[in-house]
């Protein structure tokens, strides 16, 4: 699967976003090692702390379906700037895929690619426990 195809899946997932409070609709597409893709969208809540980001939505769907090895995740929002994962999502991704590649896209279709290692250096992992 090309980067562009994964980003397109993230873009389609953003259509389902439930974001009545922020109006910031996000979609994510998580590629597993076996080629399966799980999508996710942000799901907000009147109790704002109960909201969940698109990236974690995709990760939880994958984990709950028995997948734990991830290669790439695309994140899309219809915004002028690239949509990058929040700190909590970086930490959740790090639990399963510290080497994952992130494709962060913006509304004009351009994207930038990062390694999670670079976005979350010196991370806290299960090795500390
Ligand atoms: N959000 C995501 O879903 N992913 C990101 O990478 C950035 C932020 C959501 C959380 C909230 O619903 C809205 O965007 C505004 O913060």
Calculate how far, in angstroms, residue 51's C-alpha sits from the geometric centre of ligand 1. Answer: 9
Give per-residue pLDDT as tens, 96-107: 999 999 999 999
> What is the CATH number for 88?
3.40.140.10
% of the chain beyond a pLDDT of 90: 99
pTM of the predicted model, to two decimals? 0.97
Q: Which of 50, 30, 51 is nearest to 40 (CA)?
A: 30
Give residue 31's domain range: 3-128
Which ligand 1 atom minimizes the distance to the CA of 43?
Answer: 12
**Which among 31, 55, 65, 101 is annotated as catalytic?**
55
Q: What is the mean pLDDT of residues 6-12?
A: 98
Q: Which residues of 66-81 are buried (b: 16+ CB within 10 A; e: fewer)?
A: ebeebbbbbbbbbeee
Residue nearest to atom 9 of ligand 1 (CA): 53
Tokens matching residue 108: 């004009």
Does residue 55 have an active-site annotation?
yes
Task: Report the C-alpha gap between 107 and 14 in whole angstroms.
Answer: 11
Task: Report the C-alpha gap between 62 and 64 in whole angstroms.
Answer: 5
| Number of domains present in the structure of the chain | 1
Ligand 1 interacting residues, C-beta cut-off 6 A: 19, 22, 24, 26, 42, 44, 51, 53-55, 75, 83, 85-86
Q: What is the pLDDT of residue 113?
A: 98
Q: What is the mean pLDDT of residues 48-73?
A: 98
Residue nearest to atom 6 of ligand 1 (CA): 85
């Amino acid at each position: 699967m090309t980067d562009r195809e994964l980003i397109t899946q993230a873009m389609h997932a953003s259509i389902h976003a439930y974001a009545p409070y922020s109006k910031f609709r996000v979609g994510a597409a998580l590629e597993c090692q076996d080629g399966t893709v799980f999508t996710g969208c942000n799901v907000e809540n009147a109790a704002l702390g109960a909201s969940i980001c698109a990236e974690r939505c995709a990760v939880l769907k994958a984990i709950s379906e028995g997948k734990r090895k991830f290669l790439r995740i695309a994140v899309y929002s219809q915004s002028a700037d690239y949509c990058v994962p929040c700190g909590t999502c970086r930490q959740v991704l790090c639990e399963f895929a510290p080497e994952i590649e992130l494709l962060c896209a913006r509304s004009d279709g351009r994207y930038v690619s990062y390694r999670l290692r670079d976005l979350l250096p010196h991370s806290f992992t299960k090795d500390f426990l």
